[in-house]
Structure 1
Amino acid sequence: MITSNGYVLEERPERLGRLEPVPTSLRADRDALWDRLRRDGYLYLSDHLDPALVRDFRTYYFDMLAPTGLVEPGGADEGIDSNADIDLALTRRVLFDDVVPGDRYAALTSHPSIRGWFQWFLGDDVHLHKRRIIRHTRPGETGIGTATQAHYDLVYLREGTDRVLSMWIPLGDCAVETGGLAYLEGSHHRVMAQERAGTLTMPAASITADLPGLADEYDSRWLINDYRAGDVMVHSAHIVHASTDNVDPHRRIRLSTDIRYQRVSDPIDWRWQEHWFEGDGL
C-alpha cells in the first residue's frame, strides 16, 4: 500500500505507473532531451552522479545532526532513525546555521556533474538559486504536510523566469516506501494551458494533499520509482509533483535536496537569492 499524507494511492494502471529513465543512447543528445522534457515534463537521469559523492554527503549530514538524537548510535552512515524524541531547537540551528550555508552543501549542489550538465543542457552560463532546500523525513511521521503535498514549482517563483529547471536529488537510496518523489503524468500541459489562459483557480503554495483525488481530477497517473543513490530528477516549473510517505521497515530516514538552475540571461527571482531558512515565507 502506497500512501501520501495518509491518502492511499490507487494502484490501478490508470492511476499509477512508473517513471521512465532517459535511455543511455539519448543522454548526450541535447535536442532529444529537450523534446523529452517538453513531452514528459521531467528527465529521469539514473546514475547521473557518483553514488559515493551522494553517500558521503548523506553520512556528513547525519553526523552533523547526530547530537540532536535523530539517528541511532552508529547509524549515521545509513541514516537509521533513532525512533526517539529529538532536540528540535538544536536541529534548526545545525540545519540553518551550519549545513545549509556550509561548504559541503555548496560543493554538492554546484558539483561539475550538476552545474556542468546544466550549462551544457541550457547552452548558456547558468545561475544556481541560493535558496536550496534539504529535507529529511523520519519513518512513520504522519499528518498533513509530513510528505510534500501536490504542487508545481512556478507557484513559488513568480518574480523570475518560468524557464527555471529544478533538480531533485535523493541523498541515498530512496524506494517508494522511503518517501520518493511522484509526478502527475502530463500535468504540465494542463498547467501551462491554464497559466496562459489565466484560469487557474488555486495558485496557492500547495494544490492538495489528496493525491488520489487529484489523479481523478486530471484523469491521470501518479508516476513513481525506486531511486538509487546517484539518480537525479530534472523537471519543469509546471509539472505537478509530490512525495509518498516514509514507511521504510528498516527505519531509514529519507533525505533529499531540491535545487534550481536557470540561464543567467533570464530574469532571476530575487527572493530566492538568500539561503533557505525556517520561516522565510516561500
Structure 2
Amino acid sequence: MPDINTFNGASAEEGPVTEKQFVTDGLLPQEQVGRLRPSDPNLPIEELRERLEKDNYLFLKGLLPQQDVLKAREEYFKFLSPSGVLKPGTEPVEGIFDLGKDIAGFPGIGAGETGENGRPGGNQAAVFVDLALQAHTEDWYAEDFCKHPALSSFIAKLTGWGDNTMMFRRSLLRNNIPGAHAIGVHYDQIFLRHGDISNITAWCPMGDIKLTGGGLIYLEDSKLIGQEIEAEFFRKAEKAGFTDEEAKNAFNSNMMATGLLSESPSAFATQFNRRWLVSSYEAGDVVLHDAFAIHASTINHDPEGVIRLATDLRFCDSSRPYDKRWCNFYRVGDGV
C-alpha cells in the first residue's frame, strides 16, 4: 500500500498551459486558457481578503494537512469499492478506475446530468450511486473532514464572521470518473437564493489532480457577469409574474433544467470574452470562491485513470438570513 504521507504528483505550475483542456463542448482554445493565481495561506489576512475581492477566488496552497485529506480519500474509496469501481490490484487511496468497466455505471453526483437534482444513472449504477450518496453521512467525511478546524478557523478569520461562521451540512462530495460528464457552468448563488448573499464556498480537492484530471476551472473576472445574470433572472421572473418562491427556484422556467448557466464552457467564454483559469491541485489545497464566481470543470482525462474526488463545502454568516434548505445532508431530489 502506498504511504498516504507521500502520495503526490500534482502542483501549481507557472507559465502557459500546454496540456489540452477538454470541456463538454470540446477542446478549449489556447487563448481561452490561463492559470489560477495560487496564494500562501500565511500571507497577511488583509492581502488575502483583497485577493478574494479582486479575483472572486482564493487558491490556497496546502491549507489542510495532506495526511488528513488523503485519509478521507482512502476511506471514501474503501467505502465505494464494493461497487467494482476500482482497478483490481490497486490501493483505495490511489482511486484508480477500472478502465475495463462502462463509465455509465459510475455517474457523478450533482454534475448536472439530470434536472431538479435527480438521481444519476440507471439500474446498472444503483450500487455505486447508493454508496456515493451514503458517503455524505459517514463520520470520516461529515465529521472528521468537513469540520476540519484548519478550514473553519481560516474562514472565520478571513470573513470576519468569527463565532457566527456556520458550515452548511449539505455538501457535494463529487467523484469524477475519467471520461465522464463534467460540471457545467454556474455560480453558487443560483442554488442559495433563500438567504442573504453572505456565503462562501470551499472547494476541496481530496487528492492530487493533474491539469488533465478534471479539476475546477474559473472564469476570469466573472463576478460582475454573475451579478448581472442573476439580476436579469429576477427581472424575467417579475415580468413573468413568478411568485417569490418560484423566482428563487434554481430550476425555474427561465433557467436550464439543471439550474446551470450553460453546458458549453468554451462557447460561454467566447460570449463574454473571458478566459478559463485552470490549475493542477494537490491534496491539502483549497479554493475559496464567492457567491457569483462563475466556474465549471474540465473532463477528466487522467492518463493513469485516477478518479477525481473533491467536495464543495459552503459557509455562511449565521447572524444573517441564510438558506435553511442547506441544513440537511445532500439527498437526491431535495430541490436544491
Q: Does 1:43 align with 2:58?
A: yes
- Look up the SS of the partner of 1:100 in the other structure: helix
Q: Does 1:208 align with 2:244?
A: no
| 1:170 positional shift | 0.8
Q: Does 1:108 align with 2:145?
A: yes
Query: Which position in structure 2 is the counterpart of 1:132?
Result: 171
Amino acid at match of 1:266: R
Query: Which position in structure 2 is the counterpart of 1:7?
Result: 26
Q: Does 1:261 align with 2:277?
A: no
Q: Does 1:220 align with 2:274?
A: yes
| 1:219 positional shift | 0.8
- Map residues 60-139 of structure 1 onto 2, 5 A cutoff: 60-75=75-90, 76-83=92-99, 84-85=101-102, 86=105, 88-97=125-134, 99-106=135-142, 107-123=144-160, 124-125=162-163, 126-139=165-178
Q: Is the 8 A contact 2:25 2:265 kept in 1?
A: no
Distance 1:49 1:246 in 2: 24
Query: Which position in structure 1 is the counterpart of 2:330?
Result: 276
- Cα distance per residue 1:1-23 (max 9 Å; x no partner): 211124211112xx21000011x
| 1:88 positional shift | 2.1
Query: Which position in structure 1 is the counterpart of 2:222?
Result: 187
Query: Which position in structure 2 is the counterpart of 1:21?
Result: 38
Query: Which position in structure 1 is the counterpart of 2:202?
Result: 167
Amino acid at match of 1:101: T
Q: How high is the sequence identity, in percent, across the aligned residues? A: 33
| 1:174 positional shift | 0.7
Q: Does 1:230 align with 2:293?
A: no
Q: Unaligned 5+ residue runs, structure 2? A: 1-19, 106-123, 238-253
- Cα distance per residue 1:106-134 (max 9 Å; x no partner): 21011011111111112222111111110
Distance 1:133 1:203 in 2: 21
Query: Which position in structure 1 is the counterpart of 2:293?
Result: 239
| 1:196 positional shift | 5.2
CA gap 1:227/1:77 in 2 versus in 1, 3 angstroms = same
CA gap 1:66/1:195 in 2 versus in 1, 3 angstroms = closer
* Alpha-carbon RMSD: 1.8
TM-score scaled by length of structure 1: 0.91
Distance 1:200 1:43 in 2: 32
- Look up the SS of the partner of 2:38 in the other structure: coil
Distance 2:89 2:149 in 1: 31
| 1:73 positional shift | 2.4
Distance 1:199 1:21 in 2: 37
CA gap 1:52/1:276 in 2 versus in 1, 3 angstroms = same
Q: Unaligned 5+ residue runs, structure 1? A: none
- Look up the SS of the partner of 2:316 in the other structure: strand
Distance 1:194 1:80 in 2: 39
Amino acid at match of 1:104: W
| 1:253 positional shift | 0.5
CA gap 1:117/1:180 in 2 versus in 1, 3 angstroms = same
| 1:262 positional shift | 1.3
Deviates more, 1:250-259 or 1:198-207: 198-207
Query: Which position in structure 1 is the counterpart of 2:193?
Result: 158
Q: Is the 8 A contact 2:25 2:266 kept in 1?
A: no
Q: Is the 8 A contact 2:56 2:223 kept in 1?
A: yes
